[in-house]
Amino acid sequence: MGGRTTSDLASTSSSDRLYRAYETVGFLPIVLVTLVAILALFVPHFLAVQNIFNVLRSSSYLVIMAAGQMLVLIVGGFDLSVGAVVALTSVSSAMVMAGLKDSLADEPGIIVFLGVAAGIGSGLAVGLINGLCVAFLRISPFMVTLGSMSIATGVALLLTNGIPVYGMPKVYVDAFGRGLWMQLPTAVYLAAVIVALVWVMQNFTRMGRYIFAIGGNLQAAIVSGVRTKTYLVLAYAICSVLASVSGLALTAQIGSGQAVISSQLTLESIAAAVIAGVSLKGGVGRVEMVTLAAFFLLILTDAMDLLKIDPRIQTIFLGIIVVLAVAVDEMAKRRTPVV
């Protein structure tokens, strides 16, 4: 098909324009808005301030993790270890802070700094192992991250024997974990900053374009002189570090280091990315969509909580929704003519 002439454009009906608007924003925002409208009308307390806070806070953790997961998916990989990284971060940061509690009692700032460094450091270590194995040993990402998941979970459990680690500075828990800045939970700002950074990275930096290129066509990327291995390692490292950041925020909110923090986080992060249209084949994915998808998942969970639906049945719903969302997306894509 050639270019449209001006008369073509002028004569486009309003339904056409609507369709084009739909094409640019996609399926997800519409579903999300509809969902919120329905829930606001029919579910009592959905619009209560406390509830909105809860949704925002819990989606922040998922948004941060899903943004990282998205980067790895874009380079055509997978990260099954993010949940384990959250657990490892939680345990290592809490243990460092608890260990320094007595010797540095007057310097909570240093304690927090070292604890955060330990948490991020352990995440970075896992990410580097993942990335190096995938990029240089060319092992399937599924198996590498399956292995590192097992290792990280094992280390977290071994360090704590499965017992929660208490003794983090009060200021860390109260100001960061459970605190409000300008009426909003701190984790929301953290998530917003991270989404903004990833967005800028994806849209305005060479690295962002290289990451898309690697996932879109690895051979072409290599031939064009992209240092693919470096960027592969970077994608895995960033993913793990973001999981660590999420783990730190979660730990601060809970108030203790937990080795069994949540087994569902990994699958949820992948589900959010996939619902957002991130292709498991690589090369496609936008962080703003992933953010919306994470909201979508948590709003749905929250609504089911408010409606007092048994959490066990909620799992069934979530399963169906993940499959349906992707199925509908797939159908819509196929209907769009390839020009």
Q: Which residues bind other proteins (CB under 8 A)?
A: 133, 137-140, 142-144, 146-155, 157-158, 161, 267, 270-271, 274, 280, 310, 312-320, 322-323, 326-327, 330-331
CA distance 76 to 309: 37
CB of 38 to other proteins, least distance (A): 22
Rounded to a whole number of angstroms, the minimum distance from the CB of residue 35 to other proteins is 19
CB-CB neighbours of 238 under 10 Å: 22
Q: Residue 288 or residue 329: which is nearer to other proteins going by CB?
A: 329
Picking from 102, 63, 121, the residue whose alpha carbon sits closest to that of residue 244 is 121
Label each residue of 167-224 as H, E or C.
Answer: CCCHHHHHHHHCCEECCEEHHHHHHHHHHHHHHHHHHHCHHHHHHHHHHHCHHHHHHC
Tell me how far, at minimum, the Cβ of 231 lies from other proteins, in Å.
21
Q: Which is nearer to other proteins, 151 or 207 (CB)?
A: 151
* Closest CB 280 distance from other proteins, rounded Å: 5
- Comparing CB distances to other proteins, the nearer of 63 and 322 is 322
> 180 pairs with which residues across the strands?
185
Output the CA angle 79-26-3, nearest 5 degrees. 120
- Please enumerate, as own/partner, the contacts of 53-58 that have beta carbons within 8 Å and a separation of 24 or more: 53/184, 53/185, 54/302, 55/295, 55/298, 55/299, 55/302, 56/184, 56/185, 56/188, 57/185, 57/187, 57/188, 57/253, 58/298, 58/302
Contact 149, 80 (CB under 8 A): yes
| Minimum distance of other proteins from residue 132's CB (angstroms) | 11
| Helix, strand, coil share (%) of the chain residues, nearest 5 | 75, 0, 25
Q: Which is nearer to other proteins, 182 or 338 (CB)?
A: 338
**Which CB atom, from 155 or from 249, has the smaller least distance to other proteins?**
155
> What is the closest distance, in whole angstroms, from the C-beta atom of residue 261 to other proteins in the complex?
16
- Which of residues 18 and 143 has its CB atom nearest to other proteins in the complex? 143
Residue 174 CB, shortest distance to other proteins, in Å, is 32
Question: Cβ closer to other proteins: 150 or 205?
Answer: 150
